[in-house]
Copies of this chain bind each other. A is one copy, B any other.
């Protein structure tokens, strides 16, 4: 008999010894972080002339620097700052891309608390300026990746602001986003999903014109 939690999830007895970090070797990413995956993909895109997309450095406030003779300057006091933009941006076939990558361990929904107000504001600005803004969401326990266009993400964000759900359910995610098809080289070929997305937007615009 399968025991289920009230939310419908199966009960999985833990086989993990206490205090040991859980590394899941059964999935395709073999313990790589989402950032590693994206860096590899972006390196591939660059080397193949497909796109020029980079992760922005983490913003750091430098307070104190030592300059030892004959060696490199050493920063001895500094603090992490909150990023005011998204993590990744670049150019692809003349188009400006801008996105934030987020991971969740949840099996059922993507919590919105990981996204900052000013990141949403930034995506809104990029979108209004004709850039392609999106979220890349990784459900690590399901090993599924989604590209969520800013236009659709915005609705869910505004629902939260209005006092509604603080997350996007997996079902909603499947509806509003394009799942990144599993690939081999590069494994995380997110531009494939972005292209499907653009084709769909283009098609919808054409259909609207035909009706009018």
Binding site for B on A (CB under 8 A): 46, 49, 51-52, 54, 56-60, 62, 72-80, 84-85, 89-96, 98, 122, 125-126, 128-131
Contact = CB atoms under 8 A, between A and B. Distances in A.
B129 A52 contact: yes
B74 A79 contact: yes
Taken together, the copies of this chain in the complex come to 2
A77 to B, nearest CB: 7
B73 A76 contact: no
A63 to B, nearest CB: 9
A40 to B, nearest CB: 16
Contact of A57 (B57, B73, B126): B57
B89 A79 contact: no
Contacts of A60: 57-58, 60, 62, 75, 78
A78 to B, nearest CB: 4
A79 B65 CA distance: 9
Given A57-B59, A62-B60, A129 B91 contact: yes
A56 to B, nearest CB: 5
10 contacts: A52-B125, A57-B57, A58-B60, A60-B60, A74-B77, A75-B79, A91-B126, A93-B129, A94-B129, A96-B131
B80 A91 contact: no
Contacts of A79: 72-75
Residue of A78, A79, A92, A125 ringed by the most chain B CB atoms within 10 A: A78
A187 B86 CA distance: 28
B62 A131 contact: no
Contacts of A126: 52, 91
A129 B89 CA distance: 13
